[in-house]
Amino acid sequence: MGLARILSSTLDRRRRLEPEELRKAVPMANPAVKVVSESDSGLILEAPLQVSTNRWIAGMARILKQPNTKRFELEPVGAFVWKSIDGSTSFEGISRKLREHYKMSRVEADAALGAFLQMLAQRRLITLWIRGARPSHRRR
């Protein structure tokens, strides 16, 4: 193991998800995110933007009429996944639905779903609830 990797693993205490944990993890939608329109071509989500605590920046944002929400457009497959995120269906359950509905292989469904959920999580539209996970892991 290289020095950079040792340092990185020491400083970054985020736990890497094991595949088995990921399968059992339950994606949960951010309650602040709303579906604003829905059609055959997908759906549009609206999420509130974080307001800066800095008075100057917040004032400038108001003067420049910066929007306080952001919209995300999901295409039909993304919309299908979003509708499957009900707070009780696990990653494995959603993957199974994808496989049945879109005739995908397990490997392909897992890979596509993993990448899509990661993208949603990066945009703070969802969070993954991992059963039995200890909350003591510090996030950077």
Partner 1 sequence: MSPEKQAAFRWQGFEVVLPEDCAPVSLIGDRREGYCRFGSPGSVGFQVRWKETKHPGRLKDSLFAYFRILQREARKAGKTFESDLEETDCGIAYRWRAHAKAQGQLFYSSICGRVFFLELLGDRKDSLALYRRISSTFRSSDPAGPDRWTVLGLDVRFPAPVQLEKRTFQAGRTLLEFSAKGFRAQASRWGFGEQLAERHGLAEWAAAALALPGPAIRAEDPDRVAWEGKPRFGWNSLALVRLDRDQNRILALKASYRKPQWRPEWDWLES
Which of 93/114 has CB closer to partner 1? 114
CB 94 → partner 1: shortest distance, Å? Answer: 15
CB of 105 to partner 1, least distance (A): 6
How far apart are alpha carbons 81 and 98 in whole angstroms?
8
Cα four-point dihedral sign 92, 95, 100, 101: positive
* 69-74 and 34-39 beta bridge pairing: unpaired
Considering beta carbons, is residue 45 or 98 the nearer one to partner 1?
Answer: 98
Binding-site ranges for partner 1 (CB under 8 A): 19-20, 23, 41, 76-77, 102-108, 111-112, 114-115
CB of 1 to partner 1, least distance (A): 15
Which residues, other chains included, contact 89 with Cβ-Cβ below 8 Å and sequence gap of 6+?
A: 26, 27, 97
At its nearest, how many Å lie between partner 1 and the CB of residue 102?
A: 6
69 has which bridge partners?
48
Q: Please report, for residues 96, 102, 118, the alpha-carbon distance to residue 137 in angstroms, rounded to integers and kept in the order given.
A: 30, 37, 19
Q: Which is nearer to partner 1, 95 or 125 (CB)?
A: 95
User: Toward partner 1, which CB reaches closer, 34 or 106?
Assistant: 106
